Amino acid sequence: MSNVKKAFENGKAFIPFITCGDPDLETTAAVVRAAVNHGADLIELGIPFSDPTAEGPVIQGANLRALEGGVTTDKIFDMVKALRRDVTVPMVFMTYANVVFSYGAEKFIKTCYEIGMDGLILPDLPFEEKEEFAPLCRRYGIDLISLIAPTSENRIAMIAKEAEGFLYIVSSLGVTGTRKEITTDLESMVRVVRENTDIPCAIGFGISTPEQARKMADMADGVIVGSAIVRLLARHGRDAAAPIGDYVASMKGAIT
């Protein structure tokens, strides 16, 4: 079984997103451990990129702070290697195709395997072009996680049939960021997914409150939260681990 799938074995999964290196990698590692200790089932680590097209202003700001602070892909790999001494939950990278290309696709994916990463999310990689990375991911046992957006429509079944790890369902059009209300017909999207695969699905984009998390978890197998956590990082800086741990506990409690 995919290690990523194991995150969904014990009920609804809570998946926090953390931008690596904001404000520094020591804080990132502390936040990861706090999130895991307070109930996170899978960790999504963002590798910063200078032009993060899927991100709203909150995560864009985190990317810029991390890059200005000197974070590099190699330094992030070293942090993950150290985390894997005591963090056992599945972890996946979220980054952009350019980051992987510029590092060297095989070197990047092979290193992911060597340091103990379980999956890779590339939001700017069209499904039709995933074969640029999929064979390498299969060779090294890294799940290439697909996204389904409200605009996917007739492609949802096709994407679901080839899904690995889990399916990332994008709740809303546009970029990441918290939203007061999510109006997409997610139940229909999840229904098509269920008809075509037994791979778990998690909903992300726009979720920030326990009430929203509970509503999304009623439909899907997990909930992904990014901007709300990155906002706590921006507010608390190097002291963010404790408040983020408390936040994760409240969100996990809402979906359990």
Question: Domain with 227 in it: what CATH number?
Answer: 3.20.20.70
pLDDT at 52: 65
Give dist(CA 132, CA 225) in Å, integer. 28
Indicate the range of 13-22, 52-61, 171-180, 191-200 predicted with least confidence.
Answer: 171-180
Quick check: is 19 in a domain? yes
Quick check: is 41 in a domain? yes
Q: Which of 90, 110, 119 is nearest to 6 (CA)?
A: 90
Quick check: is 244 in a domain? yes
Number of domains in the chain: 1
Quick check: is 1 in a domain? no
Instruction: State the maximum Cα–Cα separation within the chain, in Å, rounded to a whole number.
Output: 46
Both tokens of residue 180? Answer: 């007061």
Structure confidence at residue 1 as a pLDDT band (50, 70, 90): low
Report pLDDT digits (tens) over 157-207: 999 999 999 999 998 654 444 434 444 688 889 999 999 999 999 999 889
DSSP secondary structure code for residue 47 in this structure: P
Radius of gyration of the chain (CA): 17
* pLDDT tops 80 at residue 55: no
Non-local CB neighbours of 5 within 8 Å, separated by 6+ positions: 165, 166, 199, 200
Quick check: is 3 in a domain? no
Report pLDDT digits (tens) over 73-106: 999 999 999 999 999 999 999 999 999 999 999 9
Residue-number span of the structural domain to which 226 is assigned = 12-255
Quick check: is 2 in a domain? no
Q: pTM for this one?
A: 0.93
Query: In Å, what is the CA distance from 249 to each residue of 58, 75, 91, 213, 253?
Result: 22, 29, 18, 12, 6
Mean pLDDT rounded to a whole number for the chain: 92
Both tokens of residue 155? Answer: 């492609």
Quick check: is 7 in a domain? no
